[in-house]
Amino acid sequence: MIASIIQWFSKESILLCDARCNKAWGIENRPRRQLSLEEDDFVYFSDDELGDAPEDPGTTEKGQSKPTNVNERLNQWCCWECERSFTVLHGQENKHFALPDLSKPRPNYLSRR
């Protein structure tokens, strides 16, 4: 896991990531399986069901793309687009949280998790 202190909604926060950029598709591009006719009813495929993600998934956040080397990690793309990251408000680090578990299919709806 890697972490960086960032400003998130004007508050000091900590951006956490599992550092598996090779598996980061971006929340908009991660392949998914539709569960019903409802547009938002789907599960993201697990890491094991997918190969490596594209080096450039074609999305940007505030002009920044998916990192291509370790010196670029934890940029704006990582914070807003990466499905593998998690942001914690500073001062809440001791509360229970977990990075997204993408080792198994992950439903979009919280009620299905």
pTM: 0.83
Q: Cα separation of 92 and 82, whole Å?
A: 21
pLDDT in tens, 21-32: 999 999 999 999
Torsion of CA 104, 56, 20, 4, to 10 degrees: -120
* Per-residue pLDDT at 111 exceeds 80: no
H helix intervals, 53-109? 76-80
pLDDT band at 8 (very low <50, low <70, confident <90, very high): confident
Domain that holds residue 16: 2-112
**CA 109 centroid distance within chain:** 16
pLDDT in tens, 46-85: 999 999 999 999 999 989 999 999 999 999 999 999 999 9
Q: Cα separation of 29 and 82, whole Å?
A: 10
Give the total number of structural domains in the chain.
1
Quote the tokens at residue 97: 């949280």
Characterize the bridge pairing of strands 106-107 and 42-44: antiparallel
